[in-house]
Structure 1
Amino acid sequence: MEPTPLSESVASIRARPTRALPSPTNQPTNQSLHSKQSLEAESVLLHPSRHTPARDYSPKSTAQPLFDLCPVITPHHLPSTVPLPSPFPPSIALRSARRPPRAFFMSRERRLPLVLALAAAVVGVLAVASPRAEAELQVGFYNATCPIAEGVVFAEMHAILHEDPTLAPSLLRMHYHDCFVQGCDGSIMLRSRRGTAERDATPNRSMRGYDAIERIKARLETLCPLTVSCADIIAMAARDAVYLSKGPWYGVETGRRDGNVTVAEYAENDLAPPDSNIVDVKTFFSVKSLTAKDIVVLFGSHSIGTSHCEAFRKRLYNFTGAMDQDPSLDARYARQLRKLCPRRGGGRGRRAKVPMDPGSGFTFDLSYYRHVLATGGLFQSDGSLLHDPATRGYVERMANASSPDEYYQDFAAAMVKMGRTDVLPDSLGEVRATCGVFVD
């Protein structure tokens, strides 16, 4: 598939009509209240102090999982220094009132003000009692309907990443890809028999973690049927993936609804490719109301995970179309990459996975910024952060920071902001029993 020019891509995003979802599928969408159920989880000592391993550009073995240093806890057992969700606001009790019998016998002049007052009261009651007219996200949204939701997600995530630590960066990436395409609505989970779903698009063909989200959803359905949306599960799983990679814990706003429209073309147009320059990156992110600071902060997600050679091969062998190399790429680092990813790309080069942050590929820390400042990063888009004064300044500050505290605060704020992108209101969204249903 030929890449879409940036100008056409952005124009298509802005000109895209407001989505109108088709009639609901045969999946049940009603929500119900459920009795509180507790989730038991084992609590052990927190991991030791954070550290950055010695730098090495060769891929690291995952023989020793990151969970040797991670806690086995639920958010309800987190240390006092970790912010916990605030209680869900108490429900509003609606009281009925008798209509004064005398109103029927009043004159028209005296009856009209009373009728207007009663109409206003009815409108106010309906506004409170009816479903939300627009999306209202809040930390602890499920405290009343499924208080164990976040604990269940965390426990399942701990088990999932204990079995396969390499899923952590993919589940973090899934949240980003979900929010940037039609908003944070879980549509990345939908499937198409004709290969036209978001997950079939080129940027998502290497995506992993769909089964992990379905596993969490299935567990929640046994405890709180038709209550927790797939979009919220993706958002919570991304947060837990960061925390279990020794990153920050932050409160996730929940209350999203799931969409039932998925279009591969939207993913092709809305996601910035890895060979984007800083102008392209800022354009893609500005469409989602994200600033230059949000860009450089969210790019810190590349602190964990690996990439296939095809995502950066052009940077090594044909940067400008003249069979050349990106001059901004560190020469020593480029030689290492060429060994891992030969020019022809067959055999070992096709299967190779290169760490995005060498030496610290499964630890969420500041090492990524040091790597970008020293080498230009793995992707052209990573190196492009050095070509803008605002983003370069942040890279330099984080690369020389003695503590990750500032970055952790900025990352939490940027993730919450991104998680609010084009959230569906109740009238257009649903909560379905299975995330990956077929749409055709």
Structure 2
Amino acid sequence: MASKKSIVVGLILSVLSIVARNATTAISNGKTELKLDFYKRSCPEAEKIVRSTVDKYISSAPSLAAPILRMYFHDCFVRGCDGSVLLNSTNKDAEKDAIPNLSLRGFQVIDAAKADLEKQCPGVVSCADILALVTRDAVDMIGGPVWRVPMGRRDGVISLKKDTLTNLPSPSASLEQLKSSFIKKGLNVKDLVVLSGAHTIGTSHCGPFATRISKPTDPSLAESYANKLRIKCKPGDNKSLVEMDPGSFRTFDNHYYINLRRKRGLFASDAALVTDAEANSFINSALASSSSNSTSWFFTEFGRSMEKMGTIDILTGNAGQVRRHCALVN
């Protein structure tokens, strides 16, 4: 029979083992936990390979960071973070064929990272995890926040255009519609405010805000700003691009929130944020942050919300598959 001492030692070692395992895990989706070291044995250089690929693209075209970030949001809000937005369709009925996704860019970065990983670790790293890593690295490389990316997501095999409009919040959405959309995905008002801060980088076509600048001007939009937008966006113009954060659209900072206070939020969904007391409290916190400081409230909370968003309806374990090519089901 084992001695009391050996039993105690055994219990201590078991506890330490559990603590060690938990130290490598991140947020759970309620079923299976994603792990920071998920590919430690199967593809130990995975993050390094992705980072190297992203660096090649972002160093020469930093403007790609914004559309990649948007792509990740559009993926997670439709069928969860399963890489389904990356799938092609022969019948033009996949997610990327839906109107909100026709302007998505950056697929070549995901495909390149996947190709590099397939050379090193064939059939191991999912496209869903690659998209999560590419997004984090692209934002980091332009001076934005950095966040943890626990992995273990599997790739979905279904991608439907019709799912897009029913899940993606519209740029003309009211505050209640925005709240409802985020709550359905397990996100709260703070997540809504800080993730909307992604509009601090990138551009938009004229269409999503065209009705706001049609006279009479939307009262939630500053008339002086509307006049500038009318110069760039003539009636029916769906090709011209405008800055989402005028004056600071290349820099990841809190300038977006300054523009909200000046009634210069580009979309109705941006302007809606200042109509709510709770949302306003978070806007105030973002405004009190240093403009582009890695330790600021905005940067910290953006990272937390991105990590949280990355667990929406994920596929893990034996669900889904690990696609050999991100645009095609195996």
TM-score normalized by the length of structure 2? 0.87
The alignment partner of 1:420 has SS state of coil
Q: In the TM superposition, what is the alpha-carbon distance from 1:427 to its structure 2 partner?
A: 2.6
| Aligned with residue 59 of structure 2, among 162, 168, 187 | 162
Q: Specify the alignment match of 2:112 in structure 1.
A: 215
CA deviation map 1:269-300 (0-9, x unaligned): 10011011111111111110110011001001
Structure 2 distance, partners of 1:400, 1:432, is: 44
Q: Specify the alignment match of 1:140 in structure 2.
A: 37
User: Could you tell me the percent identity over the aligned residues?
Assistant: 41
Q: Are 2:303 and 1:412 aligned?
A: yes
Contact 2:200 2:244 in 1 (8 A): yes
Q: Specify the alignment match of 2:145 in structure 1.
A: 248
Q: In the TM superposition, what is the alpha-carbon distance from 1:89 to its structure 2 partner?
A: 4.9
- Aligned residue pairs: how many? 301
**Structure 1 residues 374-383 or 255-264, which shifts more?**
374-383
Structure 1 distance, partners of 2:286, 2:312, is: 26
Gaps of 5+ in 1: 1-87, 91-132, 318-322
Distance 1:221 1:344, change over 3 A: closer
Give the RMSD, CA atoms, in angstroms. Answer: 1.8
> Which protein has the bigger helix share?
2
Structure 1 distance, partners of 2:58, 2:304, is: 24
| Aligned with residue 162 of structure 2, among 249, 257, 265 | 265
Structure number with larger C-alpha Rg: 1
Structure 1 distance, partners of 2:239, 2:256, is: 23
The alignment partner of 1:315 has SS state of helix
Contact 2:126 2:323 in 1 (8 A): yes
The alignment partner of 2:90 has SS state of coil
Q: Specify the alignment match of 2:9 in structure 1.
A: none
Q: Specify the alignment match of 1:337 in structure 2.
A: 229
Map 1:79-90; keep pairs closer than 5 Å. 89=21
Q: In the TM superposition, what is the alpha-carbon distance from 1:326 to its structure 2 partner?
A: 0.6
The alignment partner of 2:41 has SS state of coil
The alignment partner of 1:432 has SS state of coil
| Aligned with residue 356 of structure 1, among 224, 241, 244 | 244
Q: In the TM superposition, what is the alpha-carbon distance from 1:230 to its structure 2 partner?
A: 0.2
Q: In the TM superposition, what is the alpha-carbon distance from 1:375 to its structure 2 partner?
A: 2.3
Q: Specify the alignment match of 1:388 in structure 2.
A: 276
Structure 2 distance, partners of 1:344, 1:420, is: 38
The alignment partner of 1:169 has SS state of helix
Contact 1:171 1:238 in 2 (8 A): yes
Contact 1:231 1:256 in 2 (8 A): yes
Map 1:263-342; keep pairs closer than 5 Å. 263-317=160-214, 323-342=215-234
Q: In the TM superposition, what is the alpha-carbon distance from 1:344 to its structure 2 partner?
A: 4.1
Gaps of 5+ in 2: 1-19, 23-29
CA deviation map 1:66-115 (0-9, x unaligned): xxxxxxxxxxxxxxxxxxxxxx959xxxxxxxxxxxxxxxxxxxxxxxxx
Contact 1:135 1:256 in 2 (8 A): no
| Aligned with residue 153 of structure 1, among 47, 50, 59 | 50
Q: In the TM superposition, what is the alpha-carbon distance from 1:396 to its structure 2 partner?
A: 2.6
Structure 2 distance, partners of 1:168, 1:325, is: 31
Q: In the TM superposition, what is the alpha-carbon distance from 1:438 to its structure 2 partner?
A: 5.9
Q: Specify the alignment match of 2:10 in structure 1.
A: none
CA deviation map 1:29-74 (0-9, x unaligned): xxxxxxxxxxxxxxxxxxxxxxxxxxxxxxxxxxxxxxxxxxxxxx
The alignment partner of 2:62 has SS state of coil
**Structure 1 residues 138-147 or 195-204, which shifts more?**
138-147
| Aligned with residue 436 of structure 1, among 302, 327, 330 | 327
CA deviation map 1:128-184 (0-9, x unaligned): xxxxx9532021211221111111111111111123222111111111111110111
The alignment partner of 1:312 has SS state of helix
Structure 2 distance, partners of 1:211, 1:156, is: 11
TM-score normalized by the length of structure 1? 0.66
Q: Specify the alignment match of 1:194 in structure 2.
A: 91
Q: In the TM superposition, what is the alpha-carbon distance from 1:237 to its structure 2 partner?
A: 0.8
Q: In the TM superposition, what is the alpha-carbon distance from 1:229 to its structure 2 partner?
A: 0.4
Structure 1 distance, partners of 2:311, 2:236, is: 42
Contact 2:323 2:329 in 1 (8 A): no
Structure 1 distance, partners of 2:155, 2:32, is: 11
Distance 1:360 1:376, change over 3 A: closer
Structure 2 distance, partners of 1:430, 1:134, is: 17
Structure 2 distance, partners of 1:138, 1:233, is: 14
Q: Which amino acid counterpart does residue 221 of structure 2 have in structure 1?
A: L
